[in-house]
Amino acid sequence: MASSSLIAAGAALLASAAPDAADAPVEPMQAASDGTDESGPPFSFGASYTADLWSNARGGIRRGMRYLDNLSVSAEADLDRLVGLGRTRAFASLLYNNGTHFSDALVGDAQTVSNIDTGVRALRVYEAWLEAGDPDRFSVKAGLYDLNSEFDAIESAHLFPNSAHGIGTDIGQTGVNGPSIFPVTSLAVRVSARLSPRWSVRIALLDGVPGDPDHPAATVIALRRGEGVLAIAEVERELPRGKILVGGWGYSARFAALDQPDRQGRGNRGAYVRGEWRLLGTEARGLTGFVRLGTAAGRYNGFSRFLGMGIVAKGWLGGETGIALAHAATSPAARRADPGVVRRGETAIELTYQRRLTRWLTVQPDMQYIVHPGADASLRNALVFGLRLIATIGR
């Protein structure tokens, strides 16, 4: 099967990608701690506001402009220092989005041009969890949890606004209401362990249906019969100049087949391999590349394969410059369900530049070219321009 083959390939890559300890040094890890930060305050607060102005200049559904925004407010408490609850910290965050549609209204792309495009105006609880243990060694986290905060995440890809470079399209498309990611999260339990200076592993069990699909603006915490769970596991290997992730995931619930909607079955699962490497220079001024491959069960999902890659130049032109590609290939079942309508895939090519103007304000112009938006044969390729402003305070 494609998923097992990808996991096997990733495991081989993990085993061979970096020399053994006797052959090459690993960049220093952060010093191990007991899960608390004695140098800072026991309670911290932060907020950020992201404002996007996007224009579809050509192709897609129709031309036009939209303004999107995202307000995030978060607080973190060291419960060990505050109330004597050893090696435990609490975190909570709120989100507000104006709910303006851009991709669905103007472009028609499936991978979503902007990672703050929710299509639902809402103020909601985003995360609320407790973590017990030492985050640098072994810890358990439980509560409302964003899967992509720790799984399938690499730093260099976060530069790009296109959603496909956050969590891969193969995972992001799945489930009744998506997995537990932005903007709707679900209850979860996550275990993380560092096995050695180079190796770590993460495992999580999450409610299979975050929120309430019938009330998308509400914060809903419910474990309903039949929703099942989403299980995910990820192994990380640190390299001298980067890291590699290998992960696998699966739902326990039954899903309807795309080309046979009256038949339901199990097996909605997939796998991914993801890595980033510093190609030139240093962390402050250098060139970093990343790549990601992913699969999902084609019987239940519109996209069965995913390829993402990019290069980020940091420290030149006063900021960060990046170019990236995200390609999601449609599944045979999706093409059989709508013959002649569904193309073989969608590709997003993105060029972006980000610069911090002040300690609290960052500006980011962006350009994307979407080939076959939504894999819809009726839509022409789209050319999109965007401008992002990010204001932050606190944490």
Distance CA 321, CA 261 (A): 44
Q: Decide if 32 is inside a domain.
A: no
Q: In 10 A of CB 294, how many CB atoms?
A: 28
Residue 169: name the closest of 271, 71, 284, 294 by CA.
294
Decide if 152 contacts 272 (C-beta within 8 A). yes
Residue 308: name the closest of 335, 342, 272 by CA.
272
Q: Decide if 283 is inside a domain.
A: yes
Q: Decide if 279 is inside a domain.
A: yes
Q: Decide if 345 is inside a domain.
A: yes
Q: Decide if 386 is inside a domain.
A: yes
Which has the minimum average pLDDT: 38-42, 45-49, 78-82, 302-306?
Answer: 38-42
pLDDT of residue 218: 82
Tokens representing 67? 């303004």
Distance CA 78, CA 90 (A): 7
**The residue to which tokens 């579809």 are assigned:** 56
Mean predicted lDDT score pLDDT of the chain: 91
Give Cα separations from 25 to 29, 61, 240, 282 (angstroms). Answer: 11, 52, 7, 16
Q: Decide if 31 is inside a domain.
A: no
Q: Decide if 36 is inside a domain.
A: no
Kindly report, residue by residue over 148-181, the tens digit of the pLDDT: 999 999 999 999 999 999 999 999 999 999 999 9
- Dihedral of the alpha carbons of 124, 73, 390, 355, in degrees to the nearest 10: -130
* pLDDT beyond 70 at 76: yes
Q: In 10 A of CB 133, how many CB atoms?
A: 19
Q: Decide if 85 is inside a domain.
A: yes
373 falls in which pLDDT band (50, 70, 90)?
A: very high
Calculate mean pLDDT across residues 112-117: 98
Burial class (CB in 10 A: 0-12, 13-18, 19+), 67: exposed
20 falls in which pLDDT band (50, 70, 90)?
A: very low
pLDDT of residue 95: 97
Kindly report, residue by residue over 46-55, the tens digit of the pLDDT: 999 999 999 9
Q: In 10 A of CB 84, how many CB atoms?
A: 8
Tokens representing 143? 């509560």
pLDDT of residue 19: 39
- Residue 321 is part of which domain span? 2-16+42-394
Overall domain count for the chain: 1
Q: Give the CATH number of the domain where residue 101 resides.
A: 2.40.160.180
Which has the minimum average pLDDT: 5-14, 163-172, 249-258?
Answer: 5-14
Residues in the chain: 395
What is the share, in percent, of the chain residues with pLDDT greater than 70? Answer: 90
Amino acid at position 340, single letter:
G
